[in-house]
Amino acid sequence: MGRKKPDDGLTRKAFLKRCLRYSAGLSAPLAMLTGGQAQGQERRRGFIRDREASHYRVLENDFVLCELCPHLCVIGPGQRGDCGVREHRNGQFFTLVYGNPCAVHVDPIEKKPLLHFLPGSQAYSVATAGCNLHCRYCQNWEISQRLPEETYNIDLPPEKLVAEAVRADCRSIAYTYSEPNIFYEYVMDTASLARERGIKNVLVTAGYINPAPQRELCRVVDAANVDLKGFTEVFYRDVCSGRLKPVLDALVLYKEEGVWLEMTNLVLPTLNDDLDEIREMCRWISRNLGDDVPLHFSRFQPRYKLKNLPPTTVETLDQIRATAMEEGLKYVYIGNVPGHESENTHCPQCGRVIIGRIGYTLTQVHLKDGHCQFCGREIPGIWEPR
């Protein structure tokens, strides 16, 4: 079958421009990660703006306990936590990634991926160096596994970031590419200012955070795509240097707090693609989060320390998606396979395509007030007028 022409009001010229933007985003990830789109901002290697961190306690014998994430790092004077961006100085604890992002870009919201949240809109996307997980296959390891001294950073404090998002006509700010939880204070202050300007806030996160700081974050965050990396403690320990249970707890908490939630599972051949394991994961999602939470299975490309693995086959992704739908999940997508039918959103009642996509570009939209235009079924999501 040929591609359907766009029928959501796009001109042919505008449609082609969106397609070009999508293809450029696929071919130039390093430019995105090392460059900046903020006007007039100079990139400086190792530029750091620090401020006192939140969620820590001073212990005896000149140690501090970081309570931000499940690692619960106990840190001596002059040392840093596991994330590499939070430092103990003379009895105080500082974040080194406050207002000094190393990645700044304007993205389609579909790239996050968020497919049930303001479709067709733009997200002003930022990231700093560092991460509190160390996945052997990290797709953005050039910044996530680096110290802030090693990356090229720009001076972009919260008020400037929000002003840039307004200038770029973005509907949301996405804290993405690395792990937003480790630049927590920057996210909190920026998100609060963004809300005052009517801009929504999006987390693209591994969900490795403790409940108290997460609840605070939920007050200013509108949507999250959580990377559920696998479904065994062994996988999280051996491949990601973390634990599964805190991520599951975070998923439940996002749902309870009313944050719009979608999930991504990057499928790694031989490591997390067992169909029985996938089935168990989908049953957990259905029981604890509901059967209408969008789930994205994404194609792996060899990166970082797992270049020995082959790319995920499309056949494997198709099998996994079919398994998820057999378990009753209603909105299951396949990512990193442009042109695949599962990029589209189908109404679970009448089966019709209600949002058509080619990559990050919308080709058709059949929603009215959050309902399928064909049969009237309510479709969960954040569907403000585009």
**pLDDT at position 7:** 38
- Whether 23 has a pLDDT exceeding 80, the answer reads no
pLDDT, tens digit, for every residue of 59-68?
A: 988 999 999 9
Which is more confidently placed, 386 or 280?
A: 280
**pLDDT at position 10:** 40
- Whether 301 has a pLDDT exceeding 90, the answer reads yes
Query: What residues contact residue 112 under an 8 Å CB cut-off, 6+ apart?
Result: 123, 174, 176, 202, 204, 225
Q: What is the mean pLDDT of the chain?
A: 91
**pLDDT at position 193:** 98
Percent share of the chain, pLDDT over 90: 87
- Whether 28 has a pLDDT exceeding 50, the answer reads no
- Whether 344 has a pLDDT exceeding 60, the answer reads yes
Q: How far apart are CA 290 and CA 331, in angstroms?
A: 11
- Whether 6 has a pLDDT exceeding 90, the answer reads no
**pLDDT at position 42:** 84
- Beta-bridge partners for 92: 89
Which is more confidently placed, 37 or 227?
A: 227
pLDDT, tens digit, for every residue of 128-182?
A: 999 999 999 999 999 999 999 999 999 999 999 999 999 999 999 999 999 999 9
pLDDT, tens digit, for every residue of 212-224?
A: 999 999 999 999 9
pTM over 0.85: yes
Q: Which amino acid is at 247?
A: V
Domains annotated for the chain, with CATH where assigned, are: 12-46+101-372 (3.20.20.70), 51-95 (no CATH)
39 confidence band (pLDDT: 50, 70, 90): low
- Whether 22 has a pLDDT exceeding 50, the answer reads no
Average pLDDT of the segment spanning 117-124: 97
- Whether 16 has a pLDDT exceeding 50, the answer reads no
103 confidence band (pLDDT: 50, 70, 90): very high
- Whether 300 has a pLDDT exceeding 50, the answer reads yes
Percent share of the chain, pLDDT over 70: 89
**pLDDT at position 40:** 56
**pLDDT at position 9:** 40
| Residue matched to tokens 């202050």 | 189
The number of CA neighbours under 13 Å toward the Cβ of 85 is 42
13 confidence band (pLDDT: 50, 70, 90): very low
pLDDT, tens digit, for every residue of 221-247?
A: 999 999 999 999 999 999 999 999 999
- Whether 92 has a pLDDT exceeding 70, the answer reads yes
